[in-house]
Every structure is written in C-alpha cells, then in structure tokens.
Amino acid sequence: MSDNATAEISSRRSGRVRPEISYKERDDKDSYDELRRAQGYTVKRQRKDLSIKGHQNGIQKADEEADAVCTNQGPDLLDDVLNFPPEELEAYEGWVELESDPAHFNYILHTLGVSNVRSEEIFSMDETEIAALRKPIYGFIFLFECEGVPISDEIVPPPSNMWFAAQTASNSCATVALLNVLMNCDEVAMGEKVRKFKEETADMVLSHRGAYLSQNKFLRSTHNTFARRLDLMDADLGMMNQWEERNKRQNKGKSGKRKRKALDPDSAKHYVGYIPHDGQLWELDGLDGGVICLGPYQGDWACAVIPHIQRKVEELGLQANLLALSHNPQASVRQKLAANMACYEALLQKLAANPTLKSSAEQDSSYITCKQEHAEQLEKIGLTYEEAVAIAAPQEFLKELDGPEMTPEHADTAMRRLIAEQRDLRLQYDAARESGNEDLAAARRRCQDYTPLVHGWLRAMGEAGVLEALADSQ
C-alpha cells in the first residue's frame, strides 16, 4: 500500500456504519493496530510459525517475525452481502432489469394470475412466421436499445377507453409494457390482485397511475423475482449514477431535438408494447408520457404492425428482441375438454331417456366425465369439478341429439367421436402443460441464486491451497 493510500471500511449490517478513517502512514504497527480497533476489529498479536531452519540457525527472534493479524469478530462482510433472504427482496423498493426471456415473462404471468396468456419469442419478423403464430395475439413486447433514440413528435394522449401507465421508476419498463398490453385486452383472464389494481387505477391520470404502479409491492416483487443481491446493488448504483449525471446537467442548456437518455449506462435497453385498439395500431411507451397511433389496419393486426417495428429497427440500427403475448393453448384446450364432457353428459341423458339408442361405447372406462368421482382426474387436465359442470354443451350438438336423424347408429358414432376427441384433447393438454412446466422450471432455477455456493467452493479451494497451486501452474 502506498504512503497516500486511504482506507474506507464500512458495514451495512444492522444499519451501523464503521467510522471512515484516513491515514497516510502505517509503518508503526501500534498505530496500525489502533486504526483497526477504531474500525471495529479486534487486533491480536499472533506468532507466525517459523521454519525449522529458522529455529535452528537463530537468525532472528520470533517476536521480530510476528505480525498484527486483524480478526473481525462479526459476520464476514461478503457473507452478509451474499446472504439474501426472500423477505429482503420483497421489501426492496427499487426495480431491477428484467431479461427478455419468454420463460421469465411466463413465470411473471403465472404469478400475476394471468392464466390464458403465454409469451413466445419471435426469431424472425418474416410475414409467414408471424402469420403462423398461435392466435389470438394480444400484443407484442419489444425490447430495444433506447440510448440516443429521438423522442417522437407523434405522441398523443391515449384515448379515454385505453389503459395506459407512464413509467415513473427506472428499470420498471418491462412490467409497465406488459400491463399496458394486458389491461387493454378484455379476453385476458387476470388474477384477483391485478383486477383490483386495474379498478383502482381506472380514473387516474397517466403519471399518478405510473407512480401507483411503481409503489405496488406485489407488482414490484413479482418483477424482481429473478433478482440476485448483486442485481439490487447494481440497480442502486445505477440510480446513484443517474442522480450524479442529473446534477451535472442542471446548469447546461438544451438545444436541438430531444433524445432519450439511457436508463442504464451499461445496457440502455427499454421495453415498449404494441396493441390493436379500436381499429388502430398503437405503440405504448411508458417513457413517452403518451401513445403513438400507427394508423388503421385491416385483417391480421399482427402482420400489419410488424412493418412498423421493422422500420424502427432498420432506421435506428437497433439490436432488438420481440416477444408475442398470445393465447395460452392450455386455456383453450381446457375449454374444449369441458365442452366435450358436457356433450358426453347430454348424450348419456338422451340414451337414458331412449333405450333404443343404446351405444356400445357408453361404458368406455377411459373417458373422464364431469362427475364428482372423477374430480382427481379432472385436476390432471386443469379443471375443477365446479368448472367442468359449469360448461354447457353447444346448441348445435343439442339440436343434433333432438333431430330426427338420431338413430342408434348415429348415437354410437357420436359417442365414439366424443371419446376419441377427448383422448386427442388430453394429449394436446399434456403437451401444452409440459411446455409450460419447462418454462416454470427454468424460471424457478433462475430464481435460485448460486453465488453463495460458488463463493463457498472458491473459499474452500483457497483455504486448501488449490487456487494458489493453479495460479503457480500458469
């Protein structure tokens, strides 16, 4: 350490900060000991082990070989940093960056209670691939590099029947964009907390709605699900850097067209949403304080909005990522399964009322019915008994049952068709569920912070001399 070195040692544990003491010289061991004591350490004089040769030759005294070894009696500072209990993450009042990974967004949708929406990554903006996406598509989430991007002159206040929140907190753009899309889709099945949030913010102005969003503990902790301790520290550091940069710019004049500043100097990534609304295409950017109408569309809105996104990428030379929020196949398959069982029950009632229509397939044991004794099997296909019995058979099928063409042969054909249809739907549901489970498993693994484990292994290797041996071998 040089003569002009400065030591600043502090601890956040229990809110206590150790005094910061500067010093220019530590040649004198007693002075150095006093410094360390003032910083909250206990200093012990320990005798170093001398080599056998040193003892035999008596080259120097043991006291001349002893050093002041500083022993911290409190918990290790690094362990304090790595120890990250869930309640601390929940209490964290900031927002961290969210990776543009469909598995992460699907986990967030699952946590928010949105059961019939699924995110999937778009690898190509080719019209053929967009047309092949699972329908309906509720919106797009677009991630792009925002630093230096000019702020549009076409920003307008959102229509009165559009839900839109301004972004008031750094790094919250992913959740802001997600909610700006979901809140404008009547077909989306939302969880109770999200429905309540929408009701509470319905009459708020944009900035108040955005501030209310940023202060919502449930939304914030859900957004921060994948955060690690170092992510929180990085977010705090980013906020500090932004504050310092803002202070530097206070006395500088502004000129020319406004350009968006980077939210994070290292990444400068930003999320916006795209939706159809009242026959128009809209870009929803929480940082704009308004929305951009991209014009009317006809036919498939998803194919109509892609050229606007492509143009933005090409004109600005952006690196970008696109996610589609589409209908979750599990939800539609569940509905089809419930309708299938309702048709089956209606056919059984018809057969019971008219024994001449007896079907040989009636007693098929592989079929799951919407009866209480099949409640456990219903759960395996994502249905409760109450949900199953609440679905009525389609009117077209009921008319078919009451028609004059209903003969024993027709009844047998209808029964076999329903059994085969359910078998196929159950396979579809299993495939969709497996895909969803893979996303949830990947997201849960991402929630696990392995940093303490890695640190523990490295420390053990260091204490065993393995790291030193590796360094010497290079």
137 and 263 in a single domain? The answer is yes
What does the alpha-carbon distance between residue 436 and residue 81 come to, in Å, rounded to a whole number?
A: 34
Answer with the one of 29, 49, 74 that is the final residue of a domain.
Answer: 74
In a domain, 472, yes or no: no
Q: What is the dihedral of CA 73, 75, 78, 80, to 10 degrees?
A: -150
Q: Residue 20: count other Cβ atoms within 10 Å of its Cβ.
A: 11
In a domain, 267, yes or no: yes
Spatial contact of 56 and 49, defined as CB atoms under 8 Å apart: no
Residue with tokens 């099928």: 397
In a domain, 471, yes or no: no
Q: Which amino acid is at 60?
A: Q
320 and 335 in a single domain? The answer is no
In a domain, 300, yes or no: yes
Q: Determine which one of 146, 173, 185, 343 is catalytic.
A: 173
323 and 335 in a single domain? The answer is no
229 and 146 in a single domain? The answer is yes
Q: In the structure encoding, which two tokens stand for residue 431, read together?
A: 């495939």
Three-state helix/strand/coil letters over the chain: CCCCCCCCCCCCHHHCCCCCCCCCCCCCHHHHHHHHHHCCCEEEEECCCCCHHHHHHCCCCHHHHCEEEEECCCCCHHHHHHCCCHHHHHHCCCCCCCCCCHHHHHHHHHHHCCCCEEEEEECCCCHHHHHCCCCCEEEEEEEEECCCCECCCCEECCCCCCCCCCCCCCCCHHHHHHHHHHCCCCCCCCCHHHHHHHHHHCCCCHHHHHHHHHCCHHHHHHHHHHCCHHHHHHHHHHHHHHHHHHHHHCCCCCCCCCECCCCCCCCCEEEEEEEEECCEEEEEECCCCEEEEEEECCCCHHHHHHHHHHHHHHHHCCCEEEEEEEECHHHHHHHHHHHHHHHHHHHHHHHHHCHHHCCCCCCCCCCCCCCHHHHHHHHHCCCCHHHHHHCCCCHHHHHHHHCCCCCHHHHHHHHHHHHHHHHHHHHHHHHHHHHHHHHHHHHHHHHCCCHHHHHHHHHHHHHCCHHHHHHHHC
Helix (H, G, I), strand (E, B) or coil at 107: helix
277 and 360 in a single domain? The answer is no
pLDDT for position 252? 61
In a domain, 165, yes or no: yes
- Domains contained in the chain, number: 3
**pTM to 2 decimals?**
0.68
140 and 216 in a single domain? The answer is yes
pLDDT for position 63? 42
In a domain, 372, yes or no: yes
Extract the residue ranges of the chain whose pLDDT is less than 70: 1-84, 148, 230, 236, 238-239, 242-244, 246-268, 318, 359-365, 372-373
Spatial contact of 256 and 141, defined as CB atoms under 8 Å apart: no
Answer with the one of 327, 359, 381 that is the final residue of a domain.
Answer: 327
190 and 164 in a single domain? The answer is yes
Residue ranges in 186-228 assigned as alpha helix (H): 192-201, 206-214, 217-223
What does the alpha-carbon distance between residue 470 and residue 474 come to, in Å, rounded to a whole number?
A: 7
173 catalytically annotated: yes
Q: How far apart are the first and last CA of the chain?
A: 26
389 and 405 in a single domain? The answer is yes
Answer with the one of 327, 352, 367 that is the final residue of a domain.
Answer: 327
118 and 266 in a single domain? The answer is yes
In a domain, 18, yes or no: yes
Q: What is the pLDDT of residues 137-189, one digit of tens each?
A: 999 999 988 776 778 889 999 999 999 999 999 889 999 999 999 999 999 98
pLDDT for position 175? 96
434 and 286 in a single domain? The answer is no
Q: Determine which one of 104, 110, 223, 270 is catalytic.
A: 270
In a domain, 140, yes or no: yes
10 and 140 in a single domain? The answer is no
115 and 40 in a single domain? The answer is no
- Give the domain range for residue 375: 331-444
